[in-house]
Chain A
């Protein structure tokens, strides 16, 4: 860049803009930081007034998140001294750990359903996007608009018949049912984004491959797929984040076996109401992977966020 440019902002306006943006970013971070701090507080510290910024950190919230506890008699407690650090934390309330809580299972469900539906959306979405990009399909524009318009329906509106349909087919509260449902929701985004990425790969590459004797299939997976890898990866992240965060379908269609973490976290109850440190610990564990993903992959996320409307 030349040293004198009319479009380059002055140092002073840069400094001014920078400080305002940083101020906003810091305000944005306060709720997130607060929830992470709360995860390391004792229940008493979590609800003290004025709010405590400096406190004795404890892993109580995390222990409560992963375990269920029962109250025991003094005799029992005296006869069985605590063996582990987490037993010790529980003992200060005259309790013993009765077993693992359901959080682990729910978290695992989120992982299975998230990755399952992402894989399926990307698999089907890439095929469809390639076909839309390369072949003349009758009514292609209408089909693409139809695919997109399925996202305008409120989830609750779709949930009524899906609830009835899944009850008939025995898919209620199953991993497969949730994977299929999330795939159906995600695939519209996947097809739109991937079509954009594949459109940008020059056709000449495949045509050269076809002339060299490749079949269409071979040209597709040996030439086009490697070229589209970045686009596929960033689309996958979006599908994964959607499935990971989804709540409405999960709360209506699952209750046990296939329940994911979002409907579960708000229901963690402690002694006398919500156990805020445990809820905060659950939220932290659940949200942290997404935050790390976002920061690490920020360069590839912009296009997905804006629904493919924005091209570099």
Chain B
């Protein structure tokens, strides 16, 4: 180290005083800054997760805390994976996931593409479209239930107005055929703007000169769309699908308020079923195993998907 007035002053200063001036070391500060966050996450996320894993091997019931708890090994897991009702819930969830994501991607991308034409006032209209996704899903579910009311609901009235059907001839929430679509419609209304915003960011990230070059090469507009726009937006679109997929796999509040899982169990998504097992039937051990299976499923699917996403990004 070269001799400078600063280093000379530093060497001349006795150690305790130097410590006072310099304060804590960077390393200490780093741990003081990160520590509380890690502690909170350990206490409220990881510790509960470990507890859930532990409970999943027992026959514990939270409404009878004093009863003796037996370890039952993998029996809970075995029962869940062989239960045909749970596969029905999985199917309901898959139907919900597939259609919400498909519709949101199609509508969301189209909207983003149109907004990117930069017409006058586009940012105000974008904000209006974004409004639904900022609202409380439970409250949204609750008021859509009002719109879906048979006979008196606005939704039935509008459908009847355009199709000429009798508005009391169908029940969106009450019929086994329509209920799965009623939740798809509301989720699409609410979350299309999310996909739209991410696509918009993707479209805006494409530099103008690429299109200019394509224009010089006399590529048609259609060809530019399929060979430039789509591939450039694809990583963004895939990211949007990932976020929506994780969120909708966890879906609870919106659907519980809309249909409560009914009629029968046609819209009983896995989260709703899980809530029933855990907090209505109080089969805590069984529900814990169920929760672990769901978590592993989401985590596994998400990891595979992220790998695919990274491959697309590399291209």
A161 touches B146 (CB 8 A): no
Contact residues in B for A14 (Cβ distance below 8 Å): 117-120
Interface residues, chain A, with chain B CB atoms under 8 Å away: 5-7, 9, 13-15, 17-18, 20-22, 24-25, 28-32, 34-35, 38, 47-51, 124-125, 127-128, 130-132, 135-137, 143, 146-147, 149-165, 180-181, 183-184, 187-188, 191, 213, 215-217, 241, 244-248, 251-252, 262-263, 265-266, 276, 279-280, 283, 286-287, 290-291, 293-295, 298, 301-302, 305-307, 309-310
B253 within 8 A of partner (CB): yes
Task: Give complex CA distance A24, B257 in Å.
Answer: 25
A216 touches B23 (CB 8 A): yes
Q: How far is the CB of A155 from chain B (nearest CB, A)?
A: 7
Most chain A beta-carbon contacts within 10 A, residue among B36, B198, B253:
B253
Given known A-B contacts A127-B34, A152-B299, A157 and B52 have beta carbons under 8 A apart: yes
B175 within 8 A of partner (CB): no
Mask: chain B, 180-221; 1 = CB below 8 Å from A; 0 = not: 000000000100001001100100000010011001000000
Given known A-B contacts A247-B137, A266-B138, A252 and B275 have beta carbons under 8 A apart: yes
Please provide the chain B residues from 149 to 188 with a CB less than 8 Å away from any CB of chain A in the complex: 149, 151-154, 157, 167
Q: Which of B43-51, B66-74, B77-85, B97-105 contacts A (4 or more CB under 8 A)?
A: B43-51
Please provide the chain B residues from 16 to 59 with a CB less than 8 Å away from any CB of chain A in the complex: 21-24, 26-27, 29-34, 36-38, 40-41, 43-49, 51-52, 55
Chain B residue at smallest Cβ distance from A241:
B134
29 A-B Cβ contacts within 8 A? Answer: A14-B119, A17-B115, A18-B125, A20-B114, A24-B129, A31-B147, A38-B146, A49-B152, A125-B37, A130-B33, A135-B29, A137-B30, A149-B299, A152-B299, A152-B302, A154-B249, A157-B295, A158-B44, A160-B287, A164-B284, A165-B47, A216-B26, A216-B29, A265-B139, A286-B136, A290-B135, A293-B134, A309-B236, A310-B198
B246 within 8 A of partner (CB): yes
Given known A-B contacts A128-B37, A247-B136, A305-B194, A25 and B129 have beta carbons under 8 A apart: yes
A298 touches B152 (CB 8 A): no
A294 touches B134 (CB 8 A): yes
Given known A-B contacts A21-B119, A128-B33, A247-B137, A213 and B48 have beta carbons under 8 A apart: no
Given known A-B contacts A252-B275, A263-B138, A51 and B152 have beta carbons under 8 A apart: yes
Contact residues in A for B36 (Cβ distance below 8 Å): 124, 127-128
Chain B residue at smallest Cβ distance from A13:
B117
Q: How far is the CB of B233 from chain A (nearest CB, A)?
A: 12
B225 within 8 A of partner (CB): no
Q: How far is the CB of A305 from chain B (nearest CB, A)?
A: 6
Contact residues in B for A283 (Cβ distance below 8 Å): 139, 142-143
Contact residues in B for A128 (Cβ distance below 8 Å): 33-34, 36-38
Task: Give complex CA distance A180, B39 in Å.
Answer: 12
Contact residues in B for A152 (Cβ distance below 8 Å): 246, 295, 298-299, 302
Task: Give complex CA distance A187, B152 in Å.
Answer: 43
Band of interface residues on B:
35 or more
B127 within 8 A of partner (CB): yes
Task: Give complex CA distance A183, B45 in Å.
Answer: 11
B144 touches A156 (CB 8 A): no
B263 within 8 A of partner (CB): no
Q: Which of A160, A216, A263 contacts B291 (CB 8 A)?
A: A160
Q: Which of A125, A143, A160 contacts B55 (CB 8 A)?
A: A160
Chain A residue at smallest Cβ distance from B299:
A152
Given known A-B contacts A7-B211, A25-B125, A191 and B37 have beta carbons under 8 A apart: yes
Contact residues in A for B31 (Cβ distance below 8 Å): 131
A15 touches B119 (CB 8 A): yes
B40 touches A32 (CB 8 A): no
B143 touches A35 (CB 8 A): yes
Interface residues, chain B, with chain A CB atoms under 8 Å away: 21-24, 26-27, 29-34, 36-38, 40-41, 43-49, 51-52, 55, 62, 107, 111, 113-115, 117-123, 125-139, 142-144, 146-147, 149, 151-154, 157, 167, 189, 194, 197-198, 201, 208, 211-212, 215, 236, 239, 243, 246, 249-250, 252-253, 257, 270-271, 274-275, 278-279, 284, 287-288, 291-292, 294-295, 298-299, 302
Chain A residue at smallest Cβ distance from B129:
A25
Q: How far is the CB of A131 from chain B (nearest CB, A)?
A: 4
A21 touches B114 (CB 8 A): yes
Contact residues in B for A150 (Cβ distance below 8 Å): 41, 45-46
Given known A-B contacts A7-B211, A17-B117, A305-B194, A160 and B125 have beta carbons under 8 A apart: no
Contact residues in B for A47 (Cβ distance below 8 Å): 149, 152
Q: Which of B37, B143, B295 contacts A279 (CB 8 A)?
A: B143
Contact residues in A for B139 (Cβ distance below 8 Å): 245, 262, 265-266, 283, 286-287
Given known A-B contacts A280-B143, A294-B130, A302-B197, A154 and B274 have beta carbons under 8 A apart: yes
Contact residues in A for B151 (Cβ distance below 8 Å): 49
Given known A-B contacts A154-B294, A157-B295, A187 and B127 have beta carbons under 8 A apart: no
Given known A-B contacts A131-B34, A241-B134, A163 and B62 have beta carbons under 8 A apart: yes
A22 touches B136 (CB 8 A): no
Contact residues in B for A154 (Cβ distance below 8 Å): 249-250, 252, 270-271, 274, 291, 294-295, 298
Contact residues in B for A294 (Cβ distance below 8 Å): 127, 130-131, 134
